[in-house]
Structure 1
Amino acid sequence: MNILRLSALASASLLALGVVGAQAADLTYEPAPAPVVEAAPAAFNWTGFYLGVHAGAAITDFDYSSPFVAGTASDDNTGFLGGVQAGYNWQFDNIVIGAQTDFAYTSAKISDGGFENKLEWLGSTTARVGYAFDNLLVYGKGGVAYGSSKITTPVGDDSKWHTGWTAGVGAEYAFTQNITGLVEYNYVDLGSQDYFDNAVSADITSNVIKAGLNYKF
């Protein structure tokens, strides 16, 4: 009797093990999905040609002297400035060097008793040297400055081109791979020119503060 019970118990155990094994075999193993690794954004490269626009203020000093009048006279005015720029940059590791030309209309002028002197146009051709913190560039610049000035009096007008020098500092930030924004300060010394057959000499300097946008190709 005990032998029959043991045999029945063993048979039932083997049958249960077979069912459990079959169920386990039906289960499939699905590995966990691999984590998604996002690629780091590419570092911004400043090398290339760019075109842009700018606007700001020209805080301009006008100084005068004449061989016919003792002493000097001076006045100043803050006018609007707006124009365009074009240039090219070369990047070497974090160092960025470049060349740029800009040209702008200005409204800076002084007037008194029928006398008016207006700085009509202002431009420069400069070299730039900067340090890039990825998409942020800080730089210094310097070069040649030029501008058109017109003096108007009750007895006549005279216009001259002035040529001098400029130096400045600025910062430029890349919003995308193509669009950058800048803020900049420049000191401009246009030197002196003689007007009305050397009757009066005008010396013009300006502190220019501007902001702009560039499109980098």
Structure 2
Amino acid sequence: MRGLLLAAVMLGTVSAAHAADMPDLPILRGSFTDGLTNARPNWQGYYVGGQGDYGKITSKISSTINSDIQSTFVTPGPAYNWQPLAAAQSSTAGYGVFAGYNGQWDDVVLGIEANYIHGGFKSTSSSTGLTFDNTSTVVATTKTSAVVGISDFGSLRMRAGYAWGCFLPYAFFGGGLGSQTVDRYASASPASVQPPTTSATKTKLVYGYSAGAGVDVVLVGGLFARAEYEYQRVTSDIESNIHSVRAGLGYKF
């Protein structure tokens, strides 16, 4: 009996010492994990976020887009030398929001996302024409320009990604609607007494599609960061192509 008691005491002492030597186990909190750990986060669920972008727009403006305005100018001398317009380009920054839902099957993540950007993209094309007399003296000057602006664009995307630790690289494709404004201007000097038309403005709803790729990265809890590239094509009377890079911050519930 005394031997059994002595064996039990020795076994308990060894077990307590072994438990004291064990490291603390990581504890998962919230939708993701506490920072960039080795534990695989759960990407399934709803999420929202904000974003900023910077990009370049190129608009395919017709070389004769201002012919109707130019025809209202009457020259008192030699015919005006109106120069054609080339493709319009510019670079600008913008901001917006996004919201969506992810479904996850093992490491494969599929989702749908609504994305909105208020960009203020304005591509500008302008030209100047000079009219000379027989002595190579300038007798008339013309200026013409067109500005294509896309102020807002909202799209609905389908996303497909692969969970790799705390990183979620993904690709997307979608379609959307936006607001496009076209401002046109023309001037000539000298001009006749007849009041000419110098400008015209038109705003319309346009549609298009977008595609790109990016990566979401878990920061802490449900908070994640995003980096992304997007190509947008706006199809309308004036086709516009936009290449932009974005950075965002979101939260998954």
Which string of whole-angstrom CA distances, capped at 9 and with x for unpartnered residues, describes residues 32-72 of structure 1?
A: 53223322455310001011000011211111225896x87
- Residue 37 of structure 1 aligns to which amino acid in structure 2? P
Q: Distance in 2 between matches of 1:67 and 1:83?
A: 32
Q: Distance in 1 between matches of 2:85 and 2:176?
A: 24
What is the 5 A alignment of 1:129-208? Answer: 129-153=160-184, 154-193=198-237, 202-208=238-244
User: Which one has a larger percent strand, Structure 1 or Structure 2?
Assistant: 1
SS at match of 2:96: strand
Residue 34 of structure 2 corresponds to none
Q: Distance in 1 between matches of 2:209 and 2:50?
A: 21
Q: 1:44 touches 1:177 (CA, 8 Å); kept in 2?
A: no
How much does 1:81 deviate?
A: 1.6
Q: 1:84 touches 1:102 (CA, 8 Å); kept in 2?
A: yes
From 51, 55, 58, the equivalent of 1:58 is 55
| Structure 1 residue runs without a partner (length 5+) | 1-27, 194-201
Residue 122 of structure 2 corresponds to 109
Normalised TM-score (structure 2):
0.65
From 36, 46, 49, the equivalent of 1:49 is 46
Which string of whole-angstrom CA distances, capped at 9 and with x for unpartnered residues, describes residues 61-95 of structure 1?
A: 111225896x8731211111210000000010000
What is the 5 A alignment of 1:84-99? Answer: 84-99=97-112
The structure whose RCO (Cα within 8 Å, separation 6+) is larger is 2
How much does 1:117 deviate?
A: 2.1
Aligned-residue identity in percent: 26
Residue 188 of structure 2 corresponds to none
Normalised TM-score (structure 1):
0.75
How much does 1:145 deviate?
A: 3.1
SS at match of 1:36: coil
Q: Distance in 2 between matches of 1:67 and 1:52?
A: 40
Residue 89 of structure 2 corresponds to 76
CA-atom RMSD, angstroms?
A: 2.4
Aligned length: 182
- Residue 91 of structure 2 aligns to which amino acid in structure 1? T
Larger Rg: 1
